[in-house]
A and B are shown apart, each in its own frame.
Chain A
């Protein structure tokens, strides 16, 4: 079965640089979520999109922005990177609102971001 695709899988950046993470949801999933997971920690919700509109916002820094495109893929843009931004970034997707499993979230393999 198709899964959530994230790219790149690994990314190394210097402080103050920018980074763009991409997420391709499971086909026919229209909701995308972004999570940040620090070492030894649980995933923290950043932001979500439903039908290309921002649907909810969590602890996402102002330096970060995201959007969902017409093909439902999403990109997380991170600027002025700081050492503390080093983490695993996961994207998850959910089925259509009309599905009985509409709030099940399926996670991608993640992007490991290292800021030097």
Chain B
């Protein structure tokens, strides 16, 4: 099955700085890569996704890049704000079911 590795496990950044989270996947047939933000006691919230036919996608302060050859993808958050503090999960999918990374706890220091 699919194996997704995510780094780092924790990330502390100063407000206004950028945050980068990286993931690798094992199944070359995976074709959909979403990112989720999970706040304490809540369900994962889809914040951005990318499909295998695209190399980069941006939505305001959030961007995702995909390197199919190397089988890795990254989340970039610019101009971080305190409300960006949460656990972020990457995931990969080939047959609809999602395989998640272990998560990154992001803390934005004011």
Contact = CB atoms under 8 A, between A and B. Distances in A.
Co-complex (A, B): yes
Given A42-B102, A42-B103, A45-B99, A103 B93 contact: yes
Contact of B43 (A44, A90, A94): A90
Interface in B95-110: 95-103
B89 A104 contact: no
Interface residues of B, number: 20
A94 B44 contact: no
Contact of B97 (A41, A45, A104): A45
A10 B67 CA distance: 41
A56 B43 contact: no
Interface size class of chain A, counting residues whose CB lies under 8 Å from the partner chain: 20 to 34
A43 to B, nearest CB: 6
Interface stretch (A62-70, A72-80, A107-115): A107-115
Contact of A103 (B32, B45, B100, B101): B32
Given A103-B32, A104-B34, A55 B43 contact: no
Given A56-B95, A110-B43, 19 more contacts: A35-B98, A41-B103, A42-B89, A42-B101, A43-B98, A45-B97, A45-B99, A48-B96, A55-B96, A56-B96, A90-B43, A90-B44, A94-B96, A103-B32, A103-B96, A104-B34, A105-B46, A107-B44, A110-B42
